[in-house]
Structure 1
Amino acid sequence: MNTAKKSHAAHRATQRKTSAAPPNVDPHAPWLVVGLGNPGPQYENTRHNVGYLVIDEVASRHIPTPTFSAHKRTNANIAETILSIGGENKKTILAKPRTYMNESGGPVKALAAFFKVPAQHIIVVHDELELDPGRVTSRLGGGDKGHNGLKSISKAIGTKDYQRINCGIGRPPGRMAPASYVLKPFPKTQAADVAIMCADAADAIERLMAD
């Protein structure tokens, strides 16, 4: 990645706004923001767990003392809160599935059903190999680009029409297998850039909810 200052400017220039939710969606319906990752200390701060890091960033902005509790009926750790965005208070569930990445669909489906969240109010944050490191984009619907977490969610909830926040981690160097690359921690030298990427992703989430 570039320096933090250059990276921040690049992120701002490359973020993309998704389409607004269809008019038939209840604007007062709750929002479900899901950060994808793998559970367990061995996966902390790995590239595949950037979704967890972004959820922590959102929580730190809006909850004085962020606490995630196990929601036994959905197999996820969640924090319920009211986010004040765009002059409105929005009921929001911040979630980290406690399943492995390729089984993320089960918790997302259960959370959406339990809290009565329409698909268009589901925001999924995930790592993206096809984006340069640090770049953040957003989109509504589309393919999974080989991401097993997205594939699981689309199958479980029966639609691809949910919001995605894509956090760029870049391609692996040399002949390193992508499966190995995504499970490696971010280098400590990139800590500042990762923090900026998480902040930009949190900004993108807030913009989606404000539309």
Structure 2
Amino acid sequence: MKKFLIFGLGNPGAEYHRTRHNIGFEVLDAIASDTSSFSSERYADVARVRVKGRELILVKPNTYMNLSGKAVRYWMEQEKVPLENILVVVDELALPLGAIRIKMKGSDGGHNGLKSIQQLLGRADYPRLRFGISNNFSKGQQVDFVLGKWTDEEWKVLVPRIEKAAEAIKSFALAGPQITMNQYNG
């Protein structure tokens, strides 16, 4: 059975629940909701889901965002999953609320989670799903914004977009990155 590691970036702990920075956790929760539950394992909470002959290993690092690379490297080595079969789900300020962009490589864009992954893997050519959280904050308020909780109005917009991101992840594993990018980017 072909394995895929899906990393949803975020921060552990109740105080970070439903914050913008934790959208990666929300997307993985949506994938696991019907068929699996997360268990606490080394460096992460992990759930395993089967989708049409593929195993999706859903990993929510508990290392905090700035040390996400530690969990990514460990689980890649532990599960012996090649780089092309991982996908990192991350919040993105440069995209409108709920927009989804899948890329096969790129810079860290100033995102501390991606920066940690890039440092520990020694490369930036790994697949990622960037989930738009918008940039609706005043100058100097970026940290408060990304660590802030979603408003009720934002959450109503997000619920179907989280489901769309979960569909895109399943497509990534089943149809491959190119077809998935053509279908879900934009």
TM over 0.5: yes
Matched, 1:161 2:134: no
Aligned CA-pair RMSD: 1.3
Query: Which residue matches 1:8?
Result: none
- 1:162-181 pair list within 5 angstroms: 162-181=126-145
Query: Which residue matches 1:81?
Result: 49
Structure 1 residue 207: deviation in Å?
A: 1.8
Query: Which residue matches 1:51?
Result: 24
Alignment gaps of 5+ in structure 1: 1-27
How many angstroms apart in 2 are the aligned matches of 1:185 and 1:142?
Answer: 27
How many angstroms apart in 2 are the aligned matches of 1:113 and 1:92?
Answer: 16
Query: Which residue matches 1:33?
Result: 6
| SS of match in other structure, 1:57 | helix
**1:126 maps to amino acid:** V
After TM superposition, the score normalised by the length of structure 2 is: 0.89
Query: Percentage identity across aligned positions?
Result: 37
Regions of 4+ moved over 2 Å: 172-176
**1:204 maps to amino acid:** A
Which one has more relative contact order, counting CA pairs under 8 Å at least 6 apart? 1
Alignment gaps of 5+ in structure 2: 177-186
After TM superposition, the score normalised by the length of structure 1 is: 0.79
**2:95 maps to amino acid:** L
- 1:50-199 pair list within 5 angstroms: 50-61=23-34, 63=35, 66-72=36-42, 75-84=43-52, 89-199=53-163
How many pairs are equivalent?
Answer: 175
* CA spacing shift, 1:187–1:199, aligned 2, 3 Å: same
| Higher Cα Rg, which structure | 1
